[in-house]
Amino acid sequence: MLKGKVAIVTGSTSGIGLGIAKELAKAGADLVLNGFGDASEIEQIRSGIERDHGVRVAYDGADMSNGDAVRNLIGRTVEKFGRLDILVNNAGIQFTAPVDEFPAARWDAILAINLSAAFHGIAAAVPQMKKQHWGRIVNIASAHGLVASTHKAAYVAAKHGMVGLTKVVGLEMAGCGVTCNAVCPGWVRTPLVEKQISDIAAQKGISQKEATNELLAEKQPSLDFASPEQLGGTVAFLCSAAADQITGTAISVDGGWTAR
Ligand code: NAD
């Protein structure tokens, strides 16, 4: 389905991004992986995807907190592969604190990585996608792009911003073969959420299992996590011909979180 296409997935050395990268590779896309981590583990991931799916996979360690680095990632990819078809803006971080105690440096970092990186990536990618008359931009927002929770001022602001940016880009690209959509996951069990489970367990003096049940029961009516593979499947669908007319919208994969 995506044979001959080239995809960048930011923040794909772990969690949801890795799940998305694998699903796109399964569909035949060549890939640029991005994100932090141990060099030998990243190389194992890279060569594993290449071997399992028979696609070309490169790794680029660009820091998504730096706008120029994001733009250079796009430029290097086009130079290396000769094209760019799919950009998945997925890299993200979390920090929780009441708004009046929220460290300004954490606010700046979350806004930079979770929102501004998508702006820089899209701005740099769109001319190439327009030239090709085909492109898919998928922004990994969150249920927190649609509704709020306490103690997540920066994250909720950034993710709402991501949904707004998605609408603008969807409108600006309408009719050029380039779509832009947001995916809004509920809880997905990744390192980003493991930390929040540990925090609940520590604060309340309960076990990891009890904290996990509390986390799900509070927000996610299905009482189950969405998986990185399911998020990958959603992104692959948005890259398919069935989604040619889906643009400027947000798709929830949240076990019912935002239905109530
Ligand atoms: P994760 O911590 O498992 O992965 C985050 C990835 O981003 C890693 O590859 C990490 O190296 C990379 N990253 C972090 N800072 C970076 C930087 N400055 N430059 C480049 N890469 C950087 O987290 P995850 O849960 O897989 O989250 C992925 C995305 O999904 C995030 O945008 C997150 O907000 C969103 N999301 C997650 C959940 C969830 O429940 N896990 C729910 C909704 C939305």
Q: Is residue 195 part of a domain?
A: yes
Contact indicator for 117, 150 with CB cutoff of 8 Å = no
**CATH number of domain containing 149:** 3.40.50.720
Q: Are residues 218 and 234 in the same domain?
A: no
Q: Evaluate: CB of 35 within 6 angstroms of ligand 1.
A: yes
Q: Are residues 99 and 165 in the same domain?
A: yes
Q: Are residues 210 and 124 in the same domain?
A: no
194 C-beta neighbours (distance < 10 Å), count: 13
Q: Are residues 129 and 110 in the same domain?
A: yes
Q: Are residues 231 and 205 in the same domain?
A: no
Q: Evaluate: CB of 193 within 6 angstroms of ligand 1.
A: yes
Q: Are residues 129 and 218 in the same domain?
A: no
Buried b (16+ CB within 10 A) or exposed e, 51-63: eebebebbbbebb
Q: Are residues 84 and 194 in the same domain?
A: no
Q: Is residue 112 part of a domain?
A: yes
Ligand 1: which residue has its CA nearest to atom 34? 92
Q: Are residues 119 and 196 in the same domain?
A: no
Domain count, the chain: 2
Q: Evaluate: CB of 19 within 6 angstroms of ligand 1.
A: no
pLDDT of residue 192: 86
Mean pLDDT by 10 residues, the chain (260 residues): 98 98 98 98 98 98 98 98 98 97 98 99 98 98 98 98 99 98 98 92 96 96 98 98 98 98
Alpha-carbon gap, residue 147 to 139, rounded angstroms: 17
Q: Tell me which residues are annotated as active site.
A: 155
pLDDT of residue 180: 99
Q: Is residue 1 part of a domain?
A: no
Mutational test site, ligand 1, from 66, 90, 96, 111, max ligand atoms within 8 Å of CB: 90
Q: Are residues 143 and 232 in the same domain?
A: yes
Tell me, in angstroms, the distance from the centre of ligand 1 to residue 173's CA: 26
Task: Indicate which atom in ligand 1 lies nearest the CA of residue 187.
Answer: 40
Q: Is residue 80 part of a domain?
A: yes
Ligand 1: which residue has its CA nearest to atom 12? 11
Q: Are residues 161 and 127 in the same domain?
A: yes
Tell me, in angstroms, the distance from the centre of ligand 1 to residue 144's CA: 14
Domain membership of residue 200 as a residue range: 189-225
Q: Evaluate: CB of 113 within 6 angstroms of ligand 1.
A: yes
Q: Are residues 67 and 138 in the same domain?
A: yes
Q: Is residue 260 part of a domain?
A: no
Q: Evaluate: CB of 222 within 6 angstroms of ligand 1.
A: no
Q: Are residues 107 and 121 in the same domain?
A: yes
Q: Evaluate: CB of 135 within 6 angstroms of ligand 1.
A: no
